Amino acid sequence: MSVEAYKELDDFFRSMRQAYNSRDMKMFRTHFWTDKRFIHVDHSGRMDLGWGAFEEVLDQEFRYMDSVKLELKELKIHVFEDKFSSVTADWKVAQVDPEGRGSEESGRVSFTICRLKDDWKIVHQHYTGALNGIE
């Protein structure tokens, strides 16, 4: 793994979090492979097959919530031949609805990332929730 690839991916995830937290769907989308073969598995086990299905869910969340905040900690980045990467991390999402009620969810996440042309893109992601209060 080259130092450059590691730095690119570290910057990539920082940018992804910033786009999510500002609810900037256009910028957030740039981090993902928007093909119909993209797969998102959320912490409840729901699978969104294809970018469009995942984008619909996100769009509703971004429009409904007054605020959202995604945190990714303890990123473990493994790069293979500067073309492919697997990343695991601890995640936490805090949301506030229009009535001021807050909620938090957390767990672990894994990402499969490929270099497509000159850009890194998430091609698959899988979130798991915390079990029995253990994170």
Residue by residue, DSSP assigns the chain as: --HHHHHHHHHHHHHHHHHHHTT-HHHHHTTB--STT-EEE-TTS-EEESHHHHHHHHHHHHHH-SEEEEEEEEEEEEEETTTEEEEEEEEEEEEE-TTS-EEEEEEEEEEEEEEETTEEEEEEEEEEEPBTTB-
Q: pLDDT tier at 135 (50, 70, 90 boundaries)? A: very low
pLDDT of residue 3: 87
- Domains belonging to the chain, first-starting first, are 3-129 (3.10.450.50)
How far does Cα 76 stand from its chain's mean position? 14
pLDDT tens digit string along 57-98? 999 889 899 999 999 999 999 999 999 999 999 999 999 999
Q: pLDDT tier at 122 (50, 70, 90 boundaries)? A: very high
pLDDT of residue 130: 76
pLDDT tens digit string along 37-52? 999 999 888 999 999 9
27 has pLDDT over 50: yes
User: CA-CA distance, 90 to 49, in Å (whole number)?
Assistant: 23
Q: Closest Cα to residue 72, out of 85, 58, 90, 87?
A: 90
